[in-house]
Amino acid sequence: MATGLKDVLPEVPGLAEHWGHGVVHCPYCHGWEVRDEPIGILATGAASIGHALLFRQLTEDLTYFTHGTELDEDSRARFAARGIRVIDTPVTEVVSDEDGALAGVRLADGQVVARRVLAVAPQMQARTHGLEGLGLPVQDLPTGRTFASGIDGTTEVPGVWVAGNVTDPVAQVGASAAAGALAGIDINKVLAVADTDAALQGIAEGSPQGATGRS
Ligand SMILES: Cc1cc2nc3c(=O)[nH]c(=O)nc-3n(C[C@H](O)[C@H](O)[C@H](O)COP(=O)(O)OP(=O)(O)OC[C@H]3O[C@@H](n4cnc5c(N)ncnc54)[C@H](O)[C@@H]3O)c2cc1C
């Protein structure tokens, strides 16, 4: 199973259509492209505080929209020390320019704050839908519920391996592909043993196919 995950964004009108372009989540994926731009952090919870510090490495023009989330005094002081502006008025809409690019956010008081990029820490939901019948055990991680896996993507269900974001939400492409390779190697080992077991059984039963049988 390598069904990945779904990024669930806050329900702010105009936000979703910019996903992966003007709306980003990962400083390592998008950092180069958004460097030195006016960036806004649309907070979704405590994880957004660390997120802001990462994006601050990429731009000196960073605004943190608390958007109903808590921001403690210590974090406010740390943000002030790094020149990160904080806005507590809720965001009601993401505004686009005439070319369709992200232009800013509209606040509940009607003010528009110009931004070229919004960084959002989405809620990550492993794509387990439709796979419930397999009976795979799940695990609750701080980043959300995923399929539980052992070494090399093994699971408690014989014949099912898992790899990538469906078991590890923070795995990027390299780690996901590596997990798939490790699972593939383990699957191949299991098949090689199964072929050998079948061959041995065939010989024991006097079958001429025994030595060449394949799983
Ligand atoms: C906007 C964005 C930018 C990113 N940029 C980078 C980057 O620059 N570098 C980087 O390393 N990582 C980046 N990532 C993260 C990267 O996309 C993931 O780490 C990677 O795709 C995880 O691979 P995966 O195979 O686990 O899942 P996915 O790539 O999500 O693949 C899962 C596949 O399974 C399919 N699927 C789902 N359910 C079913 C089903 N029931 N039956 C059949 N098929 C199904 C899906 O359609 C999908 O094709 C980015 C992510 C996002 C959202």
Give 171 Cα–ligand 1 centroid separation in angstroms. Answer: 10
The pair of structure tokens assigned to 208 is: 């001429």
To test ligand 1's pocket by mutation, which of 1, 18, 23, 29 has the most ligand atoms within 8 angstroms of CB? 29
Which residue's CA is the closest to the ligand 1 atom numbered 50?
29
**Which one-letter DSSP state was computed for residue 138?**
E
The pair of structure tokens assigned to 103 is: 């232009």
Domain boundaries, the chain: 9-121, 124-212
Taking only the tens of pLDDT, the chain with its 215 residues reads: 999 999 999 999 999 999 999 999 999 999 999 999 999 999 999 999 999 999 999 999 999 999 999 999 999 999 999 999 999 999 999 999 999 999 999 999 999 999 999 999 999 999 988 898 999 999 988 877 899 999 999 999 999 999 999 999 999 999 999 999 999 999 999 999 999 999 999 999 987 555 555 66
- Tell me if 9-121 shares its fold with 124-212: yes
Give 194 Cα–ligand 1 centroid separation in angstroms. Answer: 32
Question: Whole-model pTM above 0.85?
Answer: yes
CB of 59 closer than 8 Å to CB of 41: no
Q: Report pLDDT for 49.
A: 98
Q: Report pLDDT for 211.
A: 56
Atom index in ligand 1 nearest the CA of residue 30 equals 8
CB of 166 closer than 8 Å to CB of 132: no
CB of 22 closer than 8 Å to CB of 40: no
Which residue's CA is the closest to the ligand 1 atom numbered 4?
29
CATH superfamily, with its number, for domain 9-121:
FAD/NAD(P)-binding domain (3.50.50.60)
Q: Report pLDDT for 212.
A: 57
Edge-to-edge order in the sheet of strand 23-24: 23-24, 117-120, 39-42, 62-65, 85-87
CATH superfamily, with its number, for domain 124-212:
FAD/NAD(P)-binding domain (3.50.50.60)
Which residue's CA is the closest to the ligand 1 atom numbered 40?
3
Query: Please, what is the angle between helix 47-56 and helix 27-34, to 10°?
Result: 40
